[in-house]
């Protein structure tokens, strides 16, 4: 039997504050660029532990909604929101983000999806879906991988990925521009950011395996982790990048509730 995906990510990301290869410092740097109005509405699709939403709500007087399909991380998100005293300003929903539709006539100031573009069938589909949710002049924020160099075929074989997993840093920007969005800003992960993101997974999984030797999933947990670790150290660290991209919707473009 295959190990439950949410259990795997819950274990390997136990020590992560944000569940992506971006440092908190760079995430906070980007948040200062949002300049959100008071009482604006913000949506984060696949919100993880809701750290991004919490940081936004602490920086701006906004109302936020977070969506996540993992029963493990949505519970951690709820605990995070309560611990920050933000439960009256951040709503969390355990659901498939692709099925969410904002209230008609109540378009958003910001819609984000950081590292989960599979929900909308890729980078372009994510930008299109989020754009439909924000009001004219609203912001769209996505987190996406990109190839720094052409991936080695052995890396793709070991990880089960396709060369079409992502484009380049430049093409990630151009996709939004081609959709009529204005590109405003990006922050890019460096090797230290990646090493921390990956390394925290390795130690969390090894710690879990030691503490739960009778768990039937431990063997698969470690096999998957070691495969991903070896792929990262041999190829991924050099070829795979990560960035968060901030776009603005044209101020004259009407918004409609999405049908996804």
Grade residue 147 by pLDDT with cuts at 50, 70 and 90: very high
Q: How far apart are CA 115 and CA 19, in angstroms?
A: 9
Q: What is the CATH number of domain 15-150+161-189+240-248?
A: 3.40.50.150
Dihedral sign computed on CA atoms, order 131, 135, 136, 142: negative
Residue spans per domain, the chain? 15-150+161-189+240-248
Per-residue model confidence (pLDDT) at position 252: 73
pLDDT in tens, 84-127: 999 999 999 999 999 998 876 678 999 999 999 999 999 999 99
Q: How far apart are CA 100 and CA 119, in angstroms?
A: 11
Per-residue model confidence (pLDDT) at position 105: 66
The pTM (predicted TM-score) of the whole model is: 0.94
Residues ≥6 apart with Cβ < 8 Å to 153: none
Per-residue model confidence (pLDDT) at position 260: 29
> What mean pLDDT do residues 201-220 have?
97
Strands 108-114 and 182-188: unpaired
pLDDT in tens, 34-47: 999 999 999 999 99
> What mean pLDDT do residues 126-147 have?
97
Percent pLDDT > 90 in the chain is 93
Q: Is the pLDDT of residue 256 over 50?
A: no
Among the listed residues 130, 123, 119, 117, the one whose alpha carbon sits nearest the alpha carbon of residue 249: 130
Q: Is the pLDDT of residue 257 over 50?
A: no
10 Å CB burial of residue 186 (0-12, 13-18, 19+) is: middle
Per-residue model confidence (pLDDT) at position 253: 56
Per-residue model confidence (pLDDT) at position 1: 63
């Amino acid at each position: 039997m295959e190990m439950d995906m949410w259990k795997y990510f819950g274990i390997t990301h136990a020590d992560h504050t944000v569940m992506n290869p971006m440092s908190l410092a760079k995430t906070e740097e980007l948040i200062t660029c949002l300049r959100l109005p008071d009482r604006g509405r913000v949506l984060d699709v696949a919100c993880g532990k809701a750290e991004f939403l919490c940081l936004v709500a602490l920086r701006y007087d906004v109302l936020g909604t977070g969506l996540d399909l993992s029963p493990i991380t949505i519970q951690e998100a709820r605990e995070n929101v309560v611990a920050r005293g933000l439960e009256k300003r951040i709503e969390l929903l355990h659901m498939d983000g692709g099925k969410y539709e904002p209230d008609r006539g109540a378009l958003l100031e910001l819609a984000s999806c950081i590292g989960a573009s599979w929900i909308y069938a890729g980078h372009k589909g994510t930008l299109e879906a989020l754009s439909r949710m924000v009001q004219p002049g609203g912001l769209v924020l996505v987190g996406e991988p990109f190839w720094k160099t052409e991936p080695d075929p052995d890396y793709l074989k070991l990880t089960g990925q396709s060369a079409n997993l992502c484009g380049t840093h430049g093409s990630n920007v151009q996709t939004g521009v081609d959709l009529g969005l204005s590109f405003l800003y990006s922050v890019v992960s460096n090797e230290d950011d990646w090493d921390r993101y990956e390394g925290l997974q390795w130690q969390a999984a090894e710690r879990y395996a030691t503490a739960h030797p009778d768990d039937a999933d431990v063997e698969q947990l470690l096999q998957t982790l070691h495969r991903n670790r070896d792929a990262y150290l041999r190829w991924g660290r050099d070829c795979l990048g990560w960035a968060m991209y901030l776009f603005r919707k044209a101020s004259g473009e009407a918004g409609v509730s999405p049908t996804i």
